[in-house]
Amino acid sequence: MKIVVVVFSVAWAIFSLITTGYEVLQPKWRERLRQSPTDVQANAGGIYNRGAWRLPLTDKNSPETAVLFVDQEKGLLHALPIVYRLNPTYLVPLYNEPLTQDIAVSDPDNTLRKVLTSPDASIIYYVGTEETLDHSADLLQGYQQTLVDAENDLIFVILERKS
């Protein structure tokens, strides 16, 4: 039994060394060392760096509909979520039609388009698939896109409305 435990533990350690070592040796994250944390965070929409309080609006059921929304005008304590599992009460003043939870869950394209057409959507943090983003290509022309990170099939992009 002792041999089994020792051999298994050593094998697991070797597997971990290779897997984690491979990730740690990737140049992608080390490039970030050249930037200041403020710049990195600003690119990701740091609240202090841009003077905006962020408000996350994500649908955790589906990564494709995870849209993070920032309202530059409203402070954290005043702003209300707009696109999360959505309580239509909060949507009415911001959209002309209520956005229901079903739409958010089942229709990521439509959810993103709703956010992109919102007059309050000055900065959007988009975490989702590239395909969903492509479906709103016409609307995205009014936005500057910054790729922050990409992992597996998900991308994290900042969409900033062009002034």
Partner 1 sequence: MTLEFIKIAVFVLLISGMSYAVGRLLYALAKINVSALHIASSPILGLGTLATQLWIYGLLGVPWNRWLLVLPWVLLAVILRHRLKVSPHNAWVGLGQAKSKFNQLDNLSKTLLATGSVFAIAYFASLILQPFATSDILAIWGFKAKEFFINQQVYVTPRLTETVNLSRFYHIDYPPLLPLMADVFYVMLGHVNESLFKAMQVIFIVSGGASMFIFMRAFLAPLHKNLAAVFTFLLIAVPQFLPMLFQFKYMGYADYPLAILFLLSTLFLVRSIGKPVSSDWCLALVFASMAAVTKNEGLSFLGIVLLILGVMFVVQVRKANPKTNRYSIVRYLVVAGALVLPTIVWAIYKQRHNMTVDFKFSNLAESGMNPIERLRTIFYYIWLYISTNPIFHWELAALVVGTVAALWYRSKIALLILVVVGLQLTTYVLSFMFSPYDLKFHILSSIDRLLTQVLPITILLLSASLLTMSAKTKSSNKGPARPS
Judged by CB under 8 A, which of 13, 97, 102, 134 binds partner 1? Answer: 13
Burial class (CB in 10 A: 0-12, 13-18, 19+), 11: exposed
**Pick 59 or 140: Cβ nearer partner 1:** 59
| 143 three-class SS | strand
Judged by CB under 8 A, which of 73, 81, 96, 123 binds partner 1? Answer: 81
Q: Is 54 in the site for partner 1 (CB under 8 A)?
A: yes
Q: Is 34 in the site for partner 1 (CB under 8 A)?
A: yes
Phi-psi category of residue 45: left, alpha or beta, with phi > 0 → left and psi -120 to 50 → alpha: left
| Residue 63 near residue 127, CB atoms below 8 Å | yes
Q: Which residues pair with 52 in a beta bridge?
A: none
Q: How far apart are CA 32 and CA 158, in angstroms?
A: 17
Site for partner 1 (CB under 8 A): how many residues? 56
**Beta carbons within 8 Å of 103's beta carbon, 6+ residues apart:** 86, 110, 111, 114
Among the listed ranges 3-11, 91-99, 113-121, 135-143, the one in contact with partner 1 (CB under 8 A) is 3-11
Q: Is 135 in the site for partner 1 (CB under 8 A)?
A: no
Q: Is 15 in the site for partner 1 (CB under 8 A)?
A: yes
Among the listed ranges 82-90, 92-100, 111-119, 134-142, the one in contact with partner 1 (CB under 8 A) is 82-90
Among the listed ranges 23-31, 92-100, 112-120, 131-139, the one in contact with partner 1 (CB under 8 A) is 23-31
Q: How far, in Å, are 33, 55, 116, 144 from residue 163 at the CA level?
A: 30, 21, 14, 10
Question: Under the rule (CB under 8 A), what is the footprint of partner 1?
Answer: 1-2, 4-6, 8-10, 12-13, 15-17, 19-21, 23-24, 29, 32-38, 40-41, 43-48, 54, 56, 58, 60-61, 66, 68, 76-77, 80-81, 84-87, 101, 125, 127, 148-149, 151, 156
